Structure 1
Amino acid sequence: MAMAMAGSLLLPWVEGLVGKAADALVQRVTSMWGVDNYRRKLEDQLVYVRSLLADAEEKAEAKTEAGRAVKAWMKKLKAAAYEADNVLDSFQYEALRDEAQPSKSASRKVLYFSRDRLMFHHKASRDLKNVLDKIEELVAEMNTFGLLERAEAPQALYRQTCLALDESLDIFGRDDDKEAVVKILLDQKDQKVVQVLPIIGMGGLGKTTLAKMVYNNHKVQKHFELKMWHCVSENFEATAVVRSIIELATNGRCDLPDNMELLRGKLHEAIGRKRFLLVLDDVWNEEPRKWEDDLKPLLCSSNGGSGSMIIVTSRSQQVASIMGTHPPYELACLSEDDSWKLFTKKAFNNRGAQEQPDELVTFGRRIVNRCKGLPLALKTMGGLMSSMHQVQEWRTIAESNMGDTGNEVLSILKLSYRYLSSEMKQCFAFCAVFPKDYEMEKDKLIQLWMANGFIHEKGNMDLAKKGELVFNELVQRSFLQDVNVKEISYLQRCYKVIRYKMHDLMHDLAKDVTDECAFAAEFIDKIYQ
């Protein structure tokens, strides 16, 4: 599924390959198949090539024998890059197969280990080794050109915005919460031992949003020498968490094996006596041993300067009691006034409620009351109502039976899901094949939708444009969120990579509704044949 390249500008392309080689899904499969050493070597070689490409592209413009040699080399690199992209895509696809596998029938599990699967395993592993050999040959040739690493080389040109709050993000009623949590953090400046502050509340309440507001606060940015954010979700294994923290602290990759003593030493070296803030977002672990025996001694005992803090966000009171050194900060539902502001901003597309017919306001108030002050529910229902303009439509939603899922937010999300088009339902449900908290590239997601036949032509509009409209609509309705832009600036040009995540409740919904989609059986059959 190779992407197009503009002219001879290989740099953004190689940068994308580096990211794909380091992708968590790819690592999972290469590790399972025993070929992760090839993947690591490929990533290392691509990183090295990337560091010299700026000089190579400039030298290739020279009308000299040396320039022609570099230009010919770049042509070979381009061909090898396409091969590498296809090989890495095959591993990503296999990882998605693994994500779907655990819930499938015993017969399909047997099929997974069939002769065809083993042949695919062998072919993909062989292709990875072959493309590594080609890249290594190209690196050896590159080293004869006398290329120099340029100060403006793009190793530092990525500007990550994943923790920056989108200016369009709708946040109401959390300023007091932000100030309260910031005060707690700053008041610990003389504490010698690392302190842990849990932020707890039910799903969809905005715990992560509050943590981001605090993380980006100018006082917090100034107070802490080192700031790190790690999304835990369901993986609370000590080696995975510590490895991630090391990489965040050093802004580089940690190549150490899963040996806790080695990781401990590297962690101490990376953090030292710096005053740090670590956010462990979305923690589910309720096993005291995993914290008390494995992680607490590493994170709270010997690392960090005075006033270092860990913020833990969780739905679980049990998590707070296990990890917290402070009483948990319990996030409350939004007030009626703030709930109405959030809903109307989405529902009326920033037009004031005072401009709307009285009947819409009446039914809108009833819809807001059913959301019970939960931001995710309010945004989702507001996004739904923004597409409805008739009073009768608003009455129908206000009086509809949301069903009983045992979870008020999930019931509201299911109601909103009912009003998606069949095309949007398929595209949304497809996202369940990715792990929770996985960042997916917008363009690649649309390509996957198109490849699986979820997007249909409409008039003269091409499929990619139609896919973009579906993506934007899912974002507008809050089925996809945390849309972040990663920018690459190179030779006065800016390249943007757009990524998204799903709220974990939306991920639960996508898994729950997969069987309702017409494509489900066909898709599962396709990936297991």
Structure 2
Amino acid sequence: MAESLLLPVVRGVVGKAADALVQSITRMWGVDKDRLKLERHLVYVQSLLADAEAKSETNHAVRTWMKELKAAAYQADDVLDDFQYEALRREALSGQSMASKILSNFTSKNRLVFRHKASRDLKNVLEKIDELVTEMTKFGLVALPEAPPQALPRQTHSALDESMEIFGREGDKDGVVELLLDQQDQQDVQVLPILGMGGVGKTTLAKMVYNNDKIQKHFELRMWHCVSENFEAIPLVRSVIELATNSTCGLPDTIELLRGKLQEAIGRKRFLLILDDVWNEDQNKWEDDLRPLLCSSIGGSGSTIVVTSRSRQVASIMGTLPPHELVCLSEDDSWELFSKKAFSKGVQEQAKFVKIGRCISNKCKGLPLALKTMGGLMSSKQQIEEWEAIADCNISDTNRGKDEVLPILKLSYKHLSPEMKQCFAFCSLFPKDYEMEKDMLIQLWMANGYLHEEGTMDLTQKGEYIFNELAWRSFFQDVILVREPYFMHASKQEINGCKMHDLMHDLAKDVANECANAEELIQQNMPVNDVHHLHIRGNYQLNKISQLLGGTMYLRTLLMPPSSYKDLMKSKLMPSRALSILCRDTSIVHMLTRTAHLRYLDLSYSSIVSLPNSICMLYNLLSLRLNHCSLLQYLPEGMRTMRKLCHIYLLGCGSLERMPPKLSVLHNLRTLTRFVVGTKDGCGIEELEDLRQIGGRLELYNLQEVKCGSKANLHEKHNLNELLLYWDHFREATNHEQVWNLLYLMIS
């Protein structure tokens, strides 16, 4: 099943082969015919991969061919990346002085040698793809109709299956009903968020409330709208109008006309509106577009909107009432739900089955969706040995019963998009129960080319979408807030993170064969030849891995413990796309300039004092993480050439004295956690003026140096959720009049 991940790999290489930057260099170097032939071959292969995947389940030769094709595709990706890097290097040099350009020609990497090698590598990989295309013809593969890239958003409805027993939610239902009835004297429309993780039963609870007799009598008008991904004002208001009038709205897409019709349809009726499955965290969409329409000038006293969501940010933005948080079922309620399903058919509720069943029920962690799925599975198992095998399926030293459970999970996995499959499988890199930081995970996906821009979504937004979708579908069982340790300031930094249920982790391991953590390699003596992504937690594991390797291991991702340059060299582990390492000396940093493909670099908690200018040659870098490098004083002066940078993390870098000049040219920046205002040209607060995408946390230091008339346009940075102001390098601004005057200067 792991080779099902081949399609997004090939698709990514096709996209890179067609990239304008790549084409500009292949034309210049006279190898564009080879590039074009490679692209045509891969487009053809891509059209046949669905059939190849189906045949690979029973045909070993096809399975072997797919494995070789995947290796060749990775090789082609690296070759094309060399051409892309050369184009980026030339762009970076175009803005430099003549002396810098001349100096660049005498760097250790001779450009003529590089040109010759890249051109030769392109021919070699084309020959390999040629062989594989020829071999493919004997398999009789055909082009199958391509599945839609993404399933339609889940649509919910208000109907409650009366035959379905609901366990453990009576108290929640009564509490929400009472709260809604208590709003009868409120003149303004109130908004109640219902929060909870995927599969915990938020929609079910909303249905119970919506269909409650007291609610039906209390509200003159009840409406149910599943929001999903579309939180735009026009389609949402149009839907509410049609729900209120029970007829089609034929008005054009003019918001003023729709606003008038909405007021006419609802009037002064007391209404209940359920907005189910809200993910949007854009505060402006609610505050500026929807809240004035849905919460002003319509509805009688006591009108209420109930919002179901997994996001605390959504609750914070939309809620006027404290959120009702739906927790997992208790052990007793979990068992009641599980046993109702498990013993609903031929299996008798005997003591020996009950004992094992309780063990299986506990593994579902109180999630109704998991309990119903597992209970349904067990109802088809008549033998106690089958129950025992499934109960043991998560025990690390055995695989008994694993094949019985995974098909249930694979059914959901099968309906994911290729990008989602790849992103989910990558999570098998981490050990079980590992708390994965959301932003880190998305940035690692970006670094490995798993994400592709779609419509108006850039890479970061696409990553957010995929993360949320995987969380919604319970591939991430726990979406949590993690408090980052050792934060320098009094308030701890809270990070969005997630964990995977053990069964989901098993599924990720089953569908991915190129991700591993050191513990698995050491304990299970796993083969390392096909591993492309490696996670090492301790130096003991690093030493063991070094002993296992006979030669250099070329990786795409390496997440490793605190190490020195000698440790890294001894390990023979060379990452090309992502590296996370706490380094004890700066020699590692100098070595990094050899990895032109690097997209993600995390040196957090390292003892570095400065980063060399040579790091600015990492033109592909998307994420630079330097959190809690407490000795760090300077960043490279030439960072303005790193035009692809999206994220710069500098949390806890208390010794940082100044910023590199001209950061304003880094138009892709979405994260810049620390900015120290300087007095030199290109180092003032105005460098932030045009960086409109910056979001999350922003700490501004040395504000005493802000010049009159300088602007930072903070009011246009809609993604900011934390702003910390410091008058000098360390002292927090306490004079409120000075702060407001300063903010006025930076905004107006």
RCO higher in 1 or 2 (8 Å CA, sep ≥ 6)?
A: 1
Higher helix share: 1
TM-score after normalising by structure 2:
0.35
Which of these two proteins has the greater Rg computed from alpha carbons?
A: 2
